[in-house]
Amino acid sequence: MTLTELLAGALIFLGSFVFVVAGIGIVRFPDFYSRVHPAGNGDTLGLPLVLLGLAIYEGFTHTSLKIVLVLIFLLLTGPVASHALARSAFLTRQQEEESNVD
């Protein structure tokens, strides 16, 4: 096993760990707004770690260049999507409806 394979495996493992922790946070947090936070963090931290690990594992090829371009696109759009989702819930008064469910 080479050093690049170990580094790629470690990054993929760390990204998967972030996804698992984010999934636990989504299930355990009580309201919508606190659930948006782990969902956004899993998207913003977990996915880049996995994609970076895949790009390192692939080596310097056209495929790794495409993976890096997807990574840049996701880093730009992920936080914006989380913010838009939270803002939409705020504007439609989502918090009041969820507090009545309990």
Name the domain count of the chain: 1
Confidence bin at 90 (pLDDT 50/70/90)? confident
The pLDDT tens digits of the residues spanning 52-71 come to: 999 999 988 999 999 999 99
Report pTM. Answer: 0.81
- Name the residue among 28, 35, 43, 30 with its Cα closest to residue 80: 43
Question: Which residues span the domain enclosing 53?
Answer: 3-97
Percent of the chain with pLDDT over 90: 63
pLDDT at 27: 93
**Residue 52 pLDDT:** 94
Q: Examine residue 36 and state whether it is found in any structural domain, yes or no.
A: yes
Q: Is residue 59 part of a domain?
A: yes
101 pLDDT band, cuts 50/70/90, is: low
- Is 102 part of a structural domain of the chain? no
